[in-house]
Every structure is written in C-alpha cells, then in structure tokens.
C-alpha cells in the first residue's frame, strides 16, 4: 500500500501559529495527511514547485532581507539499512518530509531532517541527508511572516474544511489555485 505522507506540522515551518486542523488529518496520527497515489492535484503542485525551483535556489544562496526558514520537501523510502529518495508519488511506501539548515554546492545538497518519520525506519529526525536538485519535491521559505512556495500543502488544505483553508490563507499567506 502506498503511504504518501505529508506532515502538516512541518508544513507550518516551526509552527508560526497554531490552528486546529482535526477534520483534515488522518485518523491514526493527528499530524499526518495521507494522499492517494498519483493524486492529480499533488502532481500539479509538484510541477509548479519544480517550475519555480530556480528562484527558490537563488534566494537560498543569497537570502533577501525578511526571509527565513528555508526548507525542502523530499520523498523517502526504506531500502536495506538506508533510505532512497524519490519524487515519484506513485512509488510504494514513500514518506514526504521536510529538511532544513540546507547547505548547497552546485546541484548537491545536505540538510537536517526536520520531521519525525512515521512509516520509514532507517532515518530519524535530525539526521543529515544528502540529496540532489533532482530529488526536490517541494520547497518553502518564510518572507515577512508569510509562507512562500509549499505548493503541496494546497491538495491537503483543499481536501479539508473550507474554513481551515481560509485560516491558512489569512495567517500563513498560502494561496491555492
């Protein structure tokens, strides 16, 4: 069974504020939202994040004033005693999680895993992760208190109550097409 998983708490980048989201969350863990394999809205969000990745990376390398909390979302799956990264949202047993404290050298990156894995076992929160530009699924940063990027949050929010979407739009500046 595919377990494409997105952490809503991580989406909020270090919890800028706390808004209840109970009705949009998975039942087994109140911080996890499961997305169906190959979800068209998630595919569209991923495509948008990749189209705009160059601008994000420019800001990451030379952060403008008022920006902070640069983070990247990666898809992890267990393999042997390690993990493999994937951007294939139809691959089995993928858990999407955020990394932060990003260091870049060309198209090679290292960062710290910000989430606590729920389904994969060969990595833990705080581990250093090595990845390439081609492994990036989504990205975000905070500019003057508002989230920029994080396009994969929209399929999650659109699946929940309309009031929740409006709260996230107002508080975090997340705009869903």
Residues 125-145: tens digit of each pLDDT: 999 999 999 999 999 999 999
pLDDT of residue 34: 67
Beta strands at 95-105 and 4-7: parallel, antiparallel or unpaired:
parallel
CB 8 within 8 A of CB 33: yes
The DSSP H or E segment spanning 67 is strand 67-79
Q: With a cut of 70, list the residues of the chain below it in pLDDT.
A: 1-34, 177
Quick count: other Cβ atoms within 10 Å of Cβ 75? 23
pLDDT of residue 89: 85
Nearest to 89 by CA among 176, 7, 2, 177: 2
CB 142 within 8 A of CB 68: yes
pLDDT of residue 22: 25
CB 8 within 8 A of CB 164: no
How far is residue 150 from each of residues 27, 78, 140, measured CA to CA in Å?
23, 24, 5
The whole-angstrom separation of Cα 86 and Cα 122 is 15
pLDDT of residue 137: 96
Half-sphere exposure of 145 (CA within 13 A, CB side): 4
Nearest to 175 by CA among 160, 152, 154, 155: 154
pLDDT of residue 162: 80
For the chain, what's the residue count?
A: 177
The DSSP H or E segment spanning 10 is helix 8-11
pLDDT of residue 7: 39
């Amino acid at each position: 069974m595919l377990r494409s998983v997105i952490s809503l708490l991580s989406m909020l980048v270090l919890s800028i504020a706390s808004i209840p989201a109970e009705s949009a969350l998975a039942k087994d863990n109140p911080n996890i939202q499961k997305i169906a394999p190959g979800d068209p809205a998630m595919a569209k969000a991923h495509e948008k994040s990749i189209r705009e990745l160059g601008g994000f990376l420019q800001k990451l390398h030379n952060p403008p004033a008022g920006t902070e909390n640069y983070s990247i979302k990666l898809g992890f799956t267990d393999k042997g005693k390690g993990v493999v990264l994937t951007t294939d949202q139809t691959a089995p047993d993928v858990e999407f999680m955020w990394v932060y404290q990003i260091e870049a050298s060309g198209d090679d990156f290292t960062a710290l895993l910000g989430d606590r894995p729920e389904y994969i076992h060969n990595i833990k929160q705080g581990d250093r992760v090595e990845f390439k530009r081609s492994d990036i699924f989504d990205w975000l940063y905070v500019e003057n208190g508002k989230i920029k990027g994080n396009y994969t949050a929209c399929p999650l929010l659109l699946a929940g109550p309309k009031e929740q979407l409006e709260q996230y739009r107002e508080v975090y500046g997340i705009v869903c097409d």
